[in-house]
Amino acid sequence: MPRFFSGREIARILSNMYGFEELGISGSHLIMRKNNNGKIITVIVPLHKEVFIGTFKSILRQARVDKKDFFEKSKE
C-alpha cells in the first residue's frame, strides 16, 4: 500500500531537509522556492490532507528530489 503524505508534511520535509523556503499561499496551494547553484527551483504544493501519488511524484520531480531519499528523510 502506498504511503500518502499531506501537503503540510511534504512542505515541512522540503523546507527542513532540502532548503526550500515558503513564499506564500495562493488559495489552497503553497509556493516554495530554492536557489540551487544559481538556478531558481519553484514548487507548488497543494495543502490537502492526502496528496495523490501522481501529484506527489510531480512535486518531487520539480524539486529534483529522489523518491527513496525523500522517504528516508520523512522518517527522521
Per-residue pLDDT, 1: 37
Query: For residue 2, is pLDDT > 80?
Result: no
Amino acid identity at 32: M
User: 59 Cβ partners below 8 Å, 6+ apart?
Assistant: 10, 43, 44, 45, 51
- The mean per-residue pLDDT over the stretch 7-19 comes to 96
7-74 to CATH, choices 3.90.420.10, 3.30.300.90, 3.30.920.30, 1.20.1300.10? 3.30.920.30
To the nearest whole percent, how much of the chain has pLDDT over 70?
Answer: 97
**Spatial distance between the Cα atoms of 63 and 48, rounded to a whole number of angstroms:** 18
| Residue 23 backbone class (left: φ over 0; alpha: ψ -120 to 50; beta: rest) | alpha
- The residue among 3, 9, 4 whose CA lies nearest residue 30 is 9
